[in-house]
Amino acid sequence: MKLLILGGTRFLGRHLVDAALARGHEVTIFTRGRTPVPWRERVVALTGDRDPRVAPGLAALDGASFDAVVDCSGYVPRVVEASARLLASRVARYVFVSSLSVYADVSRPGLDETAPVAILADPSTEDILPNYGALKAACEAAVDRLFGARATQVRPGLIVGPYDATDRFGYWVARFVHPGLLGERADGAVVPAPPERPLQFIDARDLAAFILDLAERDLPGTFNACSPRAKWTMGSLVDTLRAAAPSSPAVAWIDEATLVTAGVAPWVGLPLWLPASEPDSGGFMDMDCSRAQGAGLRTRALSATVADTAAWLAARDNTGAWKQVLGAAAERRILESSG
């Protein structure tokens, strides 16, 4: 298969290229050229800009044709529409990597692909952070308009694993397996109670394999792509982390009221934590992903994701990391106040 990946050198795209090459596909990547290409002559590396207003724009893609394109770097509808329009007559299938954040109301658990998606209050906005979900939904719509039945929408939740620079899942791996990466820490680790809190995420390598399966099978449709509901909890994550470490900090299960009073930022300060005081997000870690599982999405053992993430964290340059997560001093104060 001749495969084009829009993006491809950083996180999910990197795993997509690795998996595609392992399957014997002919891979072209299109990036801004700011990140070194790990595969050298094994891929065709085109440079440009997704935004046609920024020279040289999409010129490098002119005249090229592919069996499938995977768009893992699309966030703004105008920009996604530009690439989709350019490729519409020269690509058989367009796989767009969207997000579970597209849903208009995630206050209840068990949402599937039929749930309404968010609509931009201002259709002209390109302000990504406050409009992330609605922008992704509008990107999906642009791909659907241009590709119709040749469009495939993949909606992952939190993507984790090696090369994840967000520090979300990586924070928990570092805190238990490599606490020294976070500086001098207390003997106890603050963990948001209760242990039975549901968690959902997807290893980037499992997501990459599923995306390639969809492209190879020329399969249309929309898929929530994350771990099965109730497969993991905060407690099972902590158990897996502690089992991966020769020695690990004691676990201090801290109630939400204490964390809120301490000013801990949900999702950022303590990654994976969405408190009950934010009911609009109550179902985000409890989505129905059975359609993707029925189509072949497989989820590797949590212990494998933890081990591989830990190995990557130990090898990477951690300079500048952990800037937003719960700091050592703040963690000590919480431990002291709850002790």
Strands (E), 25-167: 26-31, 44-47, 66-71, 91-97, 151-156, 158-160
pLDDT digits (tens, 9 = 90+) for 57-116: 999 999 999 999 999 999 999 999 999 999 999 999 999 999 999 999 999 999 999 999
Is 323 within the bounds of a domain? yes
Q: How far apart (Å, rounded) are the C-alpha atoms in residues 156 and 102?
A: 10
> What pLDDT score does 179 carry?
94
Residues spanned by the domain of 100 = 2-156
pLDDT at 304 over 80: yes
Min mean pLDDT across 218-222, 278-282, 318-322 is at: 278-282
pLDDT at 279 over 90: no
Which residues, other chains included, contact 324 with Cβ-Cβ below 8 Å and sequence gap of 6+? 167, 265, 268, 269
Rounded to two decimals, what is the model's pTM?
0.97
Q: Work out how many domains the chain is built from and give that number.
A: 2
> What pLDDT score does 86 carry?
97
pLDDT digits (tens, 9 = 90+) for 208-247: 999 999 999 999 999 999 999 999 999 999 999 999 998 8
Q: How far apart (Å, rounded) are the C-alpha atoms in residues 209 and 217?
A: 12
Is 204 within the bounds of a domain? no
Same domain, 240 and 133: no
**DSSP type of residue 231:** S
> What pLDDT score does 248 carry?
87
Same domain, 68 and 97: yes
Same domain, 183 and 74: no
Band of pLDDT at residue 30, cut at 50, 70 and 90: very high
Is 87 within the bounds of a domain? yes
Same domain, 130 and 54: yes
Are 274 and 106 within 8 A, CB to CB?
Answer: no
**DSSP type of residue 265:** P
pLDDT digits (tens, 9 = 90+) for 121-148: 999 999 999 999 999 999 999 999 999 9
* Residue that is last in its domain, among 100, 121, 156: 156
Residue 14, domain CATH: 3.40.50.720
Same domain, 114 and 180: no
